Structure formats: C-alpha cells, structure tokens
C-alpha cells in the first residue's frame, strides 16, 4: 500500500487485494476527501463473498442465465382461469364476490416495484414520473395511486402499499410522495423501501467498473430484490401489523395494471393458491414475453430468450401456441408464502445480462461503449414461483390490463404512443359499456381515482351521451 492509499481502512484494503480488485483505487491519489468517502461508502457495503459468486458467474460464459428450473421439453402451459369466462371451474360471479369480501375485510396489501432504471425508455429518474395520461398528462404514479384510492373508496378499507425504490429512483420518488401528499394516500398506509444495488462487472475480466473516479458502476438488483429488501426494511412485519394476509404485486410501468381486480383476487383466494399470477395470451412465437409453464406439479416463468425457437413456435391442435401464457408481472401471494421465502437465503437465483455500461478507461476517460461490455446481475420476482406449492394462473385480456411502457417513441412495441392508444381504447370501451359514444379520433381518459368500471361512468354520464371533444371523465 502506497502513502496515497494510506486512508483506505486496512480490512477493506485486504479484501480488495484478496479479490484482486485494487484497480478500483487507481484514481485514489487524485480524490479529495469527499470523493474518497463516496468510494469507500460504496466499497464498504460490498459483500465480498457474494462478489466472488458474481465474478465466477460473469466469467463462466456458458452460464449466461439462471438455469431454467423445469424440463421444458416435458413442460406444458398450466390450466388458466379466464376473467369473466363462464366455463371456468370456478364461476366468475363467485370469484368476484370472494374478491370483494377480501377487499372489504382489509386483508389485502400491495407492492409496487418502482426501482428500475428505465434505460430503454431513456429515463433519468423514476419511470413513475413519466406522463402517460392521454388528456390529463397524469404520471404513471398518479394513475396507479389513483386506482388504489378508487379501490379503497369502493371497499371502505385501506390497502397498505409498499413501494420499492432503488438508488436510481429513491430520492425522486420520495420527493414526489412529499409534494403530492403521498399521491392522496394515507401516509400511515404507505411504506417506502429501497432495494440493493449490485456491482456491474467488466465482462472480460470479472472486475469492478468505475463510472467516475470516485464511483463504482452499480445497478439495482432486479425486481426480485423486493423480497430481501422488503423483509430487511421491516415491510413484511408492517403488512402483518396492518392485518394483511395477501399481497398483490405490480410494476410501475403498466398504467392498466389490475393487481386488485376483484375476480383475480377471488380466484386466488378460492383456489387456495400461494401464488396467483396474471397472464395474457401469447399469440405469436416472436412476442418478447416470458411464459408461465408447468411440469410435474411445479410452475415457473421462463424468459423468452430461454425458449428455443422450435419450442416457441409449437402449436396445439386448437391453434394456440403450446406455451401461450405470457407473464405480465402482476401477482398475488399469500403473506405466509412471502414470509417463508424471505426466511430462505437461496430463494432467488441471479440472472446475468450483457449490457453496454459507460465506464472509465485506464486514463480516467468515460467511455460509452456501443456494444455490451459489462455484466449486470438481477433477481426476478417470478423465480419465487417454483417454490410455491399451489399456483393459480389467471388469463386476462391484454387490452383490459396490460399496456407496458418500455421503449422510446417510434419503437415497434411498448412505446409511449402504444400506451396512449391503449388507454384511450380502454376508456372508449368502458364508456361504450355505459352507453356513451365518442366521436372518431377524439382522445378520452378515465380518471383512475374515481372510475373503476362502467358503473362509475353511469353515475355521471347518462346513457346516450356523445363525446365530441377530448376530455377526462371523472366519477362522482
């Protein structure tokens, strides 16, 4: 250790030497006290045992992904209940009544995962702040919190909400909550918790990358980081204190998400599932969506990249793809199941992704690579599925509950213009159900905080109303 390294705490210097990562200190002599403190702060929380695992995974080029937990050649699509389908073994009306009782008894909580960096969309802060309201320009947070308020109002009970943030989204999300009076939610029923970061490694050498002389390139540990972070933040106990027995989880980038749909919750309850999940029909082999599969009584979500083109294209005699249950990341767990999973340290495997990550070269110049140069590590919530003894799969219509915002304008799918069109289409269909028509080409929007379904529209607009100017329809 040179004089310039003198301020590095000896245990850390030893750990770095042991892990062969002294190069992260190459700019140390040039750093001021604040810069040194910043870098030391990051290094201090690295679990060097875990780092060794990450390094091994990064360098084992054939182990690109967490292994698929099931034998896909023997797997099939599990039976799916379908919303509003009278042919279901459990009748929709019975499920709706059960879901309503559940919501009215205050036994349901919600988890919103909002820690993603939104790199494809080009976010600089939380995706939740992106404006999607076709007329109102309401943000994703406004829409999702509004819908939660509407549910609370209708069923007369709070739905405690835990919001997961990350280093990329925490400060701005907390600011939003402060400035918006918690999005209109009772702060006693909102719990914000922050997921962990994991180091991003150089794909060639498995070494730590710097994105500034005093800063390691780190990234949130995937939406599956929710399990450990919720547990460590006391969130599971917090839900317990609020009497919650079932937890619905959803993602911040889907403004149509229906985690608290009565019928969905009813199927979850009546089928006594540990883990109930929503899917949409995957119609074409090339659709980039994970699929729910089952084999020998176990269920799993398989990423589209892990499905061979041949298996992806296989069709059943009824014309549906053999693997047609497209996962949309809306789940409901029993709290007991999450408690059990959180108590295990090996619950969720690490997935690797090759990404182009800006980093410093040896001269300290920030390089923005055009091709992937780094490995990022993530855990996924859906990897909890194989641990569940009872899984229920509920198919919904994509147009009713799935409008993900992933890509920038002009992209082929999941771009702002697709979300806009999906929200307007959804509003038009609910208005039509209430006997309200809308002139061609006119944008309409339903206020999420006051309109859950056509009955809320009927309370404010008489049948036969014709809308000719863009507007937001607000309920009573």
Question: Which residue ranges make up the site for ligand UTP (CB under 6 A)?
Answer: 113-121, 127, 164, 166, 195, 220-223, 225, 251-253, 406
User: Residue for token digits 């294209």?
Assistant: 313
Minimum distance between the CB of residue 194 and ligand UTP, rounded to whole angstroms? 10
Q: Which is nearer to ligand UTP, 139 or 166 (CB)?
A: 166
Minimum distance between the CB of residue 225 and ligand UTP, rounded to whole angstroms? 6
103: left (phi over 0), alpha (psi -120 to 50) or beta: alpha
Minimum distance between the CB of residue 398 and ligand UTP, rounded to whole angstroms? 16
Q: Report the DSSP beta bridge partners of residue 394.
A: 81, 278
Residues 6+ apart with CB under 8 A from 42: 215, 216, 218
441 HSE (CA, 13 A, CB side)? 0
Minimum distance between the CB of residue 21 and ligand UTP, rounded to whole angstroms? 23
Instruction: Give the residue at shortest CB distance from ligand UTP.
Output: 116
User: Residue for token digits 């007369």?
Assistant: 156
Minimum distance between the CB of residue 198 and ligand UTP, rounded to whole angstroms? 9
Helix or strand run (H / E) with residue 472: strand 471-473
User: Which one-letter DSSP state was computed for residue 131?
Assistant: B
Q: Which is nearer to ligand UTP, 167 or 295 (CB)?
A: 167
35 HSE (CA, 13 A, CB side)? 15
Cα separation of 183 and 163, whole Å?
12
Minimum distance between the CB of residue 313 and ligand UTP, rounded to whole angstroms? 25
Minimum distance between the CB of residue 290 and ligand UTP, rounded to whole angstroms? 11
In 255-406 the beta strands, taken as DSSP E runs, fall at 275-281, 291-295, 298-302, 325-334, 351-355, 359-360, 366-367, 374-378, 391-395
Minimum distance between the CB of residue 116 and ligand UTP, rounded to whole angstroms? 2
Q: Which is nearer to ligand UTP, 232 or 453 (CB)?
A: 232
Q: Which is nearer to ligand UTP, 114 or 269 (CB)?
A: 114
Q: Which is nearer to ligand UTP, 22 or 172 (CB)?
A: 172
Residues 6+ apart with CB under 8 A from 107: 243, 244, 245, 246
Minimum distance between the CB of residue 123 and ligand UTP, rounded to whole angstroms? 8
Q: Which is nearer to ligand UTP, 113 or 424 (CB)?
A: 113
253: left (phi over 0), alpha (psi -120 to 50) or beta: alpha
Backbone angles phi, psi at 105, to 5 degrees: -95, 0
Which is it for the CA torsion 363, 364, 370, 376, positive or negative? positive
Backbone angles phi, psi at 138, to 5 degrees: -60, 145
Contact 65, 306 (CB under 8 A): yes
Contact 146, 91 (CB under 8 A): no
Residue 173, Cβ density class (10 Å: 0-12 exposed, 13-18 middle, ≥19 buried): buried
Q: Which is nearer to ligand UTP, 195 or 334 (CB)?
A: 195
Q: Which is nearer to ligand UTP, 109 or 118 (CB)?
A: 118
Tokens standing for 100? 């309503």
Q: Which is nearer to ligand UTP, 78 or 116 (CB)?
A: 116
Backbone angles phi, psi at 404, to 5 degrees: -70, 140
Q: Which is nearer to ligand UTP, 335 or 351 (CB)?
A: 351
What Cα–Cα distance (Å) separates residue 141 from each residue in 103, 330, 367?
Answer: 22, 16, 34
- Could you give the maximum distance between any two Cα atoms of the chain, in Å? 82
Q: Which is nearer to ligand UTP, 127 or 420 (CB)?
A: 127
Q: Which is nearer to ligand UTP, 102 or 190 (CB)?
A: 190
Minimum distance between the CB of residue 348 and ligand UTP, rounded to whole angstroms? 12
Minimum distance between the CB of residue 328 and ligand UTP, rounded to whole angstroms? 11
Minimum distance between the CB of residue 146 and ligand UTP, rounded to whole angstroms? 17
């Amino acid at each position: 250790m040179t004089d310039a390294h003198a301020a590095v705490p000896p245990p850390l210097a030893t750990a770095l030497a042991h892990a062969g990562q002294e190069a992260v200190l190459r700019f140390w002599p040039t750093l001021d006290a604040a810069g040194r403190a910043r870098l030391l702060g990051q290094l201090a929380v690295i679990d060097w045992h875990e780092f060794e695992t990450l390094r091994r995974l990064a360098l084992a080029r054939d182990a690109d992904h967490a292994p698929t937990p099931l034998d896909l050649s023997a797997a099939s699509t599990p039976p799916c209940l379908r919303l509003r389908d009278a042919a279901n073994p459990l009748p929709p009306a019975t499920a709706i009544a059960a879901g309503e009782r559940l919501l009215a008894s205050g036994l349901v909580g919600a988890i919103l995962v909002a820690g993603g960096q939104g790199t494809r969309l080009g976010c600089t802060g939380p995706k939740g702040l992106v404006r999607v309201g076709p007329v109102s320009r309401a943000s994703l947070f406004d829409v999702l919190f509004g819908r939660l308020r509407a549910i609370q109002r209708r069923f007369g009970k709070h739905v405690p909400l835990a919001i997961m943030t990350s280093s990329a989204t925490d400060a701005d999300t907390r600011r939003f909550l402060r400035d918006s009076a918690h999005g209109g939610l009772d702060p006693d029923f909102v719990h914000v918790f922050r997921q962990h970061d994991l180091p991003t490694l150089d794909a060639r050498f498995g070494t730590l990358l710097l994105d500034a002389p005093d800063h390691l390139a780190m990234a949130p540990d995937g939406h599956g980081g929710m399990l450990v972070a919720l547990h460590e933040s006391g969130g599971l106990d917090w839900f317990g204190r609020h009497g919650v027995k079932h937890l619905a989880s959803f993602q911040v980038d889907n403004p149509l998400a229906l985690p608290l749909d009565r019928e969905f919750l009813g199927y979850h309850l009546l089928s006594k599932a540990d883990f109930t999940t929503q899917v949409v029909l995957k119609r074409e082999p090339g659709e980039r969506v994970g699929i729910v599969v089952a084999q020998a009584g176990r269920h799993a979500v398989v990423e589209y990249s892990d499905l061979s083109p041949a298996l992806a294209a296989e069709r059943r005699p009824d014309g549906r793809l053999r693997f047609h249950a497209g996962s949309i990341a809306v789940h409901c767990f029993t709290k007991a199941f999450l408690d059990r999973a959180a108590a295990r340290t090996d619950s969720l495997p690490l997935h690797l992704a090759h990404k182009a990550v800006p980093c410093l070269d040896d001269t300290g110049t920030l390089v923005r690579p055009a091709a992937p140069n780094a490995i990022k590590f993530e855990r996924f919530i859906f990897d909890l599925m194989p641990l569940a003894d009872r899984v229920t799969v509920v198919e919904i219509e994509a147009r009713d509950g799935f409008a993900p915002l992933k890509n920038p304008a002009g992209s082929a799918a999941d771009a702002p213009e697709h979300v806009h069109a999906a929200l307007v289409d959804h509003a038009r269909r609910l208005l039509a159900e209430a006997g309200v028509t809308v002139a061609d080409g006119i944008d309409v929007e339903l206020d999420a905080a006051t309109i859950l379904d056509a009955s809320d529209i009927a309370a404010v607009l008489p049948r036969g109303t014709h809308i000719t100017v863009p507007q937001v329809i607000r309920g009573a």
